[in-house]
Amino acid sequence: MDRVPFRARPMLPTLVREPFHQPGWIYEEKYDGYRILAYKEGRRVRLVSRNGIERTGSYPGIARAIGSLAPRTLLLDTEVVVFDSKNVSRFQLLQNIRKEPQAAVFDCLYVDGRDLRGAPLAERRGAVERLIREGVLLVSRILAENGLEAYRVARRRGLEGVVAKDLSSPYIEGRSARWRKFKVHQEDEFVIAGYTAPAGSREHFGSLLLGAHEGGELRYAGKVGTGFTRRSLEELYRKFQPLIRARPALADPPRDKSVTWLAPKLVAQIAYQEWTSDGKLRQPVFLGLREDKPAREVTFPS
């Protein structure tokens, strides 16, 4: 029977503050998209998000490309992305897809009866490189052999950051220090805890109140009022209505009488300049909703 005999959880990198170089590691481009585990089982292909949501119907071109690969059984770890005119992946472009999404493939967990999770990354990446030819599917790009030079390349190209990986590491489900990420741009996930009333010509709502978990509590991180289109304002407002609640989920809500509080279920991707002295986001911009990450996993960036 053509079947991958397990269902995996993705291996996640640990955020570090500073770029570094370490022999025996590779330094890949950090893509700004949706993490997807791709299962091929005979003629059937399933694309599954990191929190177990079926996304096959969302990316039919990628599903067809996975289905055309030679192995009968296959499990690939990928990031679904859309590139801008400078060949930089942008999460925002996935919200209103005008170009064909691609999948950057960076790991192979299973192929034709072989469980590769215990094999070193060097072997697993070799399997990816033998399987993938550029097109809808692409092999994740190594930016440079040296981690510090990879960081300089990422800054020069305007990438989100770098993912550093220990070539000797097995595939470890969940968060691991054998994979590490360092960022170039400040961009993180936050829980949507409420919204304010619209003002002026704005319809539906004014700003979103954001939070993240710390010490077991959902704590206030600031407001975001930019980055919305007329369509996204309408779509978000519609999603908010079933989540309205009387009291804030935040442990430290701001004093604002115009807020409609929401159950902490939705996760927003936010770009921002920096943190203010009182621990709030400076110049935040809404990029889109993340459907691939549970709200309970959203913590303040370390």
Cβ–Cβ under 8 Å, residues 36 and 137 = no
Instruction: Judge contact between 150 and 144, C-beta under 8 A.
Output: yes
E strands, 98-199, where?
102-111, 114-115, 137-139, 142-144, 161-166, 174-183, 187-196
Q: What residues are annotated to the active site?
A: 30
Give me 93's structure tokens. 């472009």
Output phi, psi for 56, to 5 deg. -60, -45
Distance CA 127, CA 272 (A): 37
Quote the radius of gyration of the chain (alpha carbons, Å): 20
Token readout for 247 is 């009291």
Helix (H, G, I), strand (E, B) or coil at 258: coil
The two three-digit tokens of residue 70, written as one number: 């030679």
Give the HSE-up count for residue 134: Cα atoms under 13 Å, Cβ half-sphere: 1
Three-state secondary-structure class, residue 107: strand
